[in-house]
Structure 1
Amino acid sequence: MVSRGNKFSRRWFLSLATTIVAAPAIVKAEAPSAGNVRRNTSSFALHNWQDHFDSLGNGILLSDTNRRTLQHWTADGEMRVYPTSVPLTDELTRRGYTEVVEKRENPRWRPTPSMRERNPEWPPVIEGGDPMNPLGTRALYLSWTYYRIHGTQDTRKIGRRSSNGCIGLFNEQIEEVYDRTPIGTKVKLI
């Protein structure tokens, strides 16, 4: 990089200056800071359905609240993985076995009594199709009261702790899951 005697080239100097200016930003981007979660493909480690269920039946939904993923197996064994939003806190998280008992397109949303207590300013109902509806375009109702697997209009929530207890997916993805999930599909939240 030295040219014409002992003088440095302009290209060498610009390269050095760019490296010095950019290095702190690159190091900061690489290292997770305290309280931040590093998101990468390793967080999408998969489960085997056999570790949680005796048979596929008419399908299985397995939601991993730590990894923020939903694995969906159809009755013929095809499996797909989706990123999800999960409950804000462990107190709002219910874990265990349940099943899909109802399906709704453009579902109406009503806050639960505990949501209304925490947020009295929230409206008592938001109709389906409203862009402010937190259930998005589709919802799978579980046998647990108030718990759903649903879409979301707010795509910033996916991959984060952001719900009041439900599992959220991108609208395009819940529509796919909805179409492939019959009522009676087994569900487990871990």
Structure 2
Amino acid sequence: MTGASNQYTITRRRLLFSASAVGVFPASVVHAQSTVSAEVQEETTAVRRNVSSFTIHDWPDHFERLGRGIIISDTTTRVLQHWTEDGEMRIYPTSVPLTDELTKRGYTEIVEKRKNPSWAPTPSMRKRNPEWPTVIKGGDPQNPMGSRALYLSWQYYRIHGTHDTRKIGRRSSNGCIGLYNEHIEEVFERATIGTQVKLI
């Protein structure tokens, strides 16, 4: 625990330094090093209009151990933090559910990972929007799941990408947490099955 805490403290200092140096909400931060395309940087600058502030969470305030890694998604400030099992942390802007009724909070974990996932509306979505298609195949630009999806132990809840980058930083989903495709691909590669997740 001590080693992980020390490593996190260093990471957090560098994160804050990076955020102040960039002067905008960071798209992706790892020990003050970020490799984000110009397109995503422009999109992230636009997100600033939707996100007034963000809070950096300390994982020991929410979990007893780092384990296989931790994801904390703050649905108020629309930020996701991901720690790998070695304590490295990165932060990403997100989209969140449209309403509090659609927002589930609490502890869960990653139980499955899929590249180019297909999408099907849940029964409640079908009830609200009967005109929606029954399924959209993976890779289709109309697929709201984007290029990658992390399936949680909660039925129908995912952390996934989106092709519609206007949604990031906003209340725009039917219950899931959305990231830019470039960001979910990064989280997808770094996160393992069993990663602990908390939505707050």
| TM-score, normalised relative to structure 1 | 0.79
1:176 aligns with 2:176: no
- Paired residue for 1:136? 146
Q: Which runs of 4+ in 1 moved over 3 A?
A: 37-40
Q: How far apart are 1:45 and its partner, in Å?
A: 1.9
Shift, 1:39, TM fit: 4.2
1:105 to 115, 126, 135: 115
More strand by share: 1
In the alignment, which residue of structure 2 is the partner of 1:27? none
Measure, in 2, the Cα distance between the counterparts of 1:144 and 1:179.
21
| TM-score of the aligned structures, taking structure 2 as reference length | 0.75
Q: Percent of counterpart pairs with the same letter?
A: 76
Aligned residues of 2:152 and 2:158 also touching (Cα < 8 A): yes
User: Given the alignment of the two structures, is residue 94 of structure 1 paired with residue 104 of structure 2, yes or no?
Assistant: yes
Q: How many residues align?
A: 153
Q: Deviations over 1:10-44 (max 9, x none)?
A: xxxxxxxxxxxxxxxxxxxxxxxxxxx9645x612
- The CA distance in 2 between the partners of 1:45 and 1:125, in whole Å, is 37
- Is 1:163 aligned to residue 173 of structure 2? yes
1:116 aligns with 2:123: no
| Match of residue 152, structure 1, among 162, 181, 197 | 162
Deviations 1:148-169 (A, max 9, x none): 0000000000000000000000
Give the match's secondary structure for 1:67.
coil
Give, as a single letter, the amino acid of the residue that structure 2 aligns with 1:94. K
- Structure 2 unaligned regions, length at least 5: 1-47
